[in-house]
Amino acid sequence: GYQRVLEENRKLYNQVQDLKGNIRVYCRVRPFKPGQSNTLSSVDHMDERTITILTHSKNGKEARKAFTFNKVFGPSVTQAEVFSDMQPLVRSVLDGYNVCIFAYGQTGSGKTHTMTGPKELTEEGLGVNYRALSDLFHISNQRKETISYDISVQMLEIYNEQVRDLLSADGVNKRLEIRNSSHNGINVPDANLVPVSLTSDVINLMNIGHKNRSVCSTALNDRSSRSHSCLTVHVQGRDLTSGNILRGSMHLVDLAGSERVDKSEVVGNRLKEAQHINKSLSALGDVISSLASRSSHVPYRNSKLTQLLQDSLGGQAKTLMFVHIAPEYEALGETISTLKFAERVATVELGAAKVNKDSGEVKELKEQIASLQAALARKE
């Protein structure tokens, strides 16, 4: 009785969320580093959906600025809790949706922690990439009497506007082309596409990918923070009764660090890298905000990243922009610019544009929720 009503209530709520739009923005705040607990924080307050930042106004007085998102995760939220929130999104890939999940933020804010996990990986530390694939294996296995699924993965890096294969056996030096074919859509035909069915397959592949990525870095030159890495999961399902085929894909993207580099301080390669990163992150922001505002022209062609993901951004595709914040007060400038980026891709979506088509349905679901809530209230 009671449990069922609660469950029903939650399901309806999620449906309303689904109808509201395909672009979600989450924010996660990294904890302080060990031994740093007395450091001044730029975060004044957090609740489920709002984060308030402590700033200083020009006359030196304290000031606060609040940002609202679909979800805010504080520093004590675990990897499992973060994933459980994303689970419905991840599972929709098995129903034929295209999904993009982006980790955005300055270097050191926790992007790789969220997507992959800490350097010394433990079971609890496993990031979204591992949990997502394990979950897809689990659910596809549950459905095996009715649908037969094939799951395969690719792992690419975009560095200085060049695409490379992180799963290549002979290193990552070859530059790859992004193609657009009528039957396959956007693809990178020369990148390895590896079938996977066990979590251990995924762990092995990710290890190869990480090794390939770090070969290109030196101690002073951590390339991983200046390139985008993209784990793509391709799913094909065959309905065993009808023979119908459905296809879904999911891109899990650990973006390059969003920090602004002082142009007067870097030259040569570093300046070139910084310019490429700036260009591709702002191209991504432009694409998402023009999708959210339903603009008729979406500028996919302005960067390799948006070209690569063109099929999976917009239309019926679902996008999650997951921004990361470092709590230290010294990071305030970058924190504000990260939150502004996030706000730019979020507020438009939270506006009215999207709802038109489904407004009748949303209204109906809301009425059902209200009546279920009334039923709950009577029980209490």
Residue 16 identity (one-letter amino acid): V
Among 51, 67, 90, 108, binds ligand ADP (CB under 6 A): 108
Among 24, 91, 113, 226, binds ligand ADP (CB under 6 A): 113
Residue 170 identity (one-letter amino acid): D
Among 42, 79, 112, 140, binds Mg ion (CB under 5 A): 112
Among the listed ranges 34-42, 106-114, 128-136, 340-348, the one in contact with Mg ion (CB under 5 A) is 106-114
DSSP 8-state class, residue 367: H
| Residue whose entry in the numeric block shows the structure tokens 């793509």 | 232
Q: How far apart are CA 162 and CA 143, in angstroms?
A: 39
Give first-to-last CA distance, the chain, whole Å.
13
Among the listed ranges 46-54, 108-116, 145-153, 238-246, the one in contact with ligand ADP (CB under 6 A) is 108-116
| Residue whose entry in the numeric block shows the structure tokens 């008729």 | 296
Helices (H) and strands (E) in the chain, counts: 9, 14
Shortest reach from residue 320's CB to ligand ADP, in Å: 16
Please choose which of ligand ADP, Mg ion, none residue 160 contacts, taking the beta carbon within 5 to 8 angstroms, the exact cut-off set by kind: none
| Residue whose entry in the numeric block shows the structure tokens 């705040």 | 29
- 249 near ligand ADP (CB under 6 A): no
Phi and psi dihedrals of 99, rounded to 5? -130, 140
Q: For residue 325, give every residue at least 6 positions away whose Cβ sits within 8 Å of its Cβ, in sequence order, or none.
A: 27, 28, 29, 30, 43, 51, 105, 109, 331, 335, 338, 339
Contact set for ligand ADP, span 301-360 (CB under 6 A):
324
- 74 near ligand ADP (CB under 6 A): no
Shortest reach from residue 194's CB to ligand ADP, in Å: 24
Instruction: Count CA atoms within 13 Å of residue 146 on its CB side.
Output: 7
- 140 near ligand ADP (CB under 6 A): no
Quote the tokens at residue 96.
Answer: 């034929």
CB atoms within 10 A of CB 49: 13
| Residue whose entry in the numeric block shows the structure tokens 């396959």 | 184
- 187 near Mg ion (CB under 5 A): no
Please choose which of ligand ADP, Mg ion, none residue 185 contacts, taking the beta carbon within 5 to 8 angstroms, the exact cut-off set by kind: none
Is 155 or 235 the residue whose CB approaches ligand ADP more closely? Answer: 155
Concatenated DSSP letters of 183-233: TTEEE-TTS--EE--SHHHHHHHHHHHHHHHHHT-BTTB-GGGGSEEEEEE
Among the listed ranges 112-120, 243-251, 274-282, 285-293, the one in contact with Mg ion (CB under 5 A) is 112-120
Among 22, 41, 112, 306, binds ligand ADP (CB under 6 A): 112
Shortest reach from residue 61's CB to Mg ion, in Å: 36
Instruction: Name the helix (H) or strand (E) containing 101.
Output: strand 98-104
Shortest reach from residue 106's CB to Mg ion, in Å: 10
Tell me: is residue 112 an annotated ligand-binding position: yes
| Residue whose entry in the numeric block shows the structure tokens 């239309």 | 315
- 228 near ligand ADP (CB under 6 A): no
Please choose which of Mg ion, ligand ADP, none residue 109 contacts, taking the beta carbon within 5 to 8 angstroms, the exact cut-off set by kind: ligand ADP
Among 30, 226, 251, 276, binds ligand ADP (CB under 6 A): 30
Residues in binding site for ATP: 105-112
Contact set with Mg ion (CB under 5 A): 111-112
Contact set with ligand ADP (CB under 6 A): 30-31, 105, 107-113, 118, 225, 324
Residues in binding site: 105-112
